[in-house]
Amino acid sequence: MKIVSIAVSRKKGTTKKCIQQAELIENHGIKDDAHAGDWHRQLSFLASESIENASSEAFKLSFGDFAENIATTGIDWKTQPIGQQFNLGEDAIVEITQIGKECHQKCAIFYRTGDCIMPKEGVFAKVLNGGIIKVGDKIERVVK
Domain ranges of the chain: 2-141
DSSP structural state of residue 144: -
Nearest-angstrom CA–CA distance, 28 and 25: 5
User: Do 10 and 34 touch, CB atoms closer than 8 A?
Assistant: yes
Q: What is the pTM of this model?
A: 0.85
144 residues of the chain, pLDDT tens digit each = 999 999 999 988 777 899 999 999 999 999 999 999 999 999 999 988 877 776 665 566 677 777 789 999 999 998 999 999 999 999 999 999 998 766 556 555 555 555 556 667 789 999 999 999 999 999 999 997
Q: 2-141, superfamily in CATH?
A: PK beta-barrel domain-like (2.40.33.20)
